[in-house]
Amino acid sequence: MKLSANRLERRLQVSGILLILGLLVEATCLLWTRPIAFVVFLCVGGLLLVLGVLLYLFSLVSGNQQER
C-alpha cells in the first residue's frame, strides 16, 4: 500500500490505519479467555484508538498548511 504524497491525506491515512489496528486488537482480545486480555484490550487497543482519533482531529485542525 502506498501512502499519498499530500501531507493532509497521509496523516488521515495513518490515523485510519491506527484506528483499524486498534479495532483488530480489541476484536482479538474479545476471543481470549485469559485475564491478561482485558489489560491488552484497554492498554494497547485503547491507546491505538485514542492515537488514531487524536491524529485525525489534529490533521483536521492543522489543515494543509504549506511549509515556509
- Write down the pTM of the prediction: 0.83
Q: Which grid coordinates are listed for 57?
A: 482531529
pLDDT at 62: 87
pLDDT in tens, 26-40: 999 988 888 898 889
Query: What is the C-alpha to C-alpha distance for residues 44 and 66, in angstroms, rounded to an integer?
Result: 34
Q: How far apart are CA 38 and CA 62, in angstroms?
A: 35
Integer Cα distance of 13 and 56 in angstroms:
9
Residue 49 CB coordination number (10 Å): 18
Q: What percent of the chain has pLDDT over 90?
A: 60
Residue 3 has a CB neighbour count (10 Å cut-off) of 11
